């Protein structure tokens, strides 16, 4: 996945901005993930510039994810786990982050069964019947 590191960086940044609030913990998580993906050590200056100049308003996650079409399903799943990790970094999950993850998953061509464990589950009325009994 190293050859796709710029696209992966963009998708992770998109996750950080999905809820319209950028937390320092999210940037810290992205830098840590990038360092790990690149084999450890410092994040290259080019990626740091990408982090600092990222424009969420101009970013299209579907277009970015489509550049990764040739990745094996296992790598696509791993990428979604990284996106979920960024979503978790600020310890606040919301629907915007969940929608972003689902958008990236769909653009990667994954079925809901392949990533449903990473998404929020909204319970319906019949599932809540007797919950507090």
Distance CA 97, CA 108 (A): 17
Q: 10: burial class by Cβ within 10 Å (0-12, 13-18, 19+)?
A: buried
What pLDDT, on the 0 to 100 scale, is given for residue 113? Answer: 85
In tens, the pLDDT along 66-76 reads 999 899 999 99
What pLDDT, on the 0 to 100 scale, is given for residue 123? Answer: 45
What pLDDT, on the 0 to 100 scale, is given for residue 19? Answer: 87
Q: Decide if 12 contacts 80 (C-beta within 8 A).
A: no
Locate all alpha helices (DSSP H) within the chain, ordered by sequence.
5-17, 24-37, 45-53, 61-66, 73-89, 95-108, 125-128
Q: Decide if 115 contacts 80 (C-beta within 8 A).
A: yes
Band (pLDDT 50/70/90 cuts) for residue 122 is: low
Distance CA 102, CA 12 (A): 14
pLDDT at 125 over 70: no
CATH code for 2-110? 1.10.3680.10
Distance CA 34, CA 29 (A): 9
pLDDT at 33 over 60: yes
What's the pTM? 0.86
In tens, the pLDDT along 75-117 reads 999 999 999 999 988 787 788 899 999 999 999 999 888 877 8
Q: Where are the domains of the chain?
A: 2-110
User: 45 CB contacts (<8 Å, ≥6 apart)?
Assistant: none
């Amino acid at each position: 996945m190293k050859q796709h590191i710029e696209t992966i960086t963009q998708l992770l940044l998109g996750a950080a901005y999905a809820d319209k609030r950028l937390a320092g913990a999210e940037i810290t998580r992205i830098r840590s993930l990038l360092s790990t993906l690149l084999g450890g050590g410092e994040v290259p200056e080019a990626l740091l510039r990408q982090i600092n100049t990222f424009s969420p308003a101009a970013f299209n996650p579907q277009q970015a994810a489509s550049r990764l079409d040739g990745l094996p399903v296992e790598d696509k799943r791993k990428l979604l786990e990284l996106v979920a990790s960024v979503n978790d970094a600020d310890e606040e999950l919301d629907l915007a982050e969940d929608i972003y993850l689902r958008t990236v998953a769909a653009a990667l061509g994954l079925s809901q069964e392949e990533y449903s464990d990473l998404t929020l589950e909204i319970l319906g009325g019949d599932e809540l019947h007797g919950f507090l009994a």
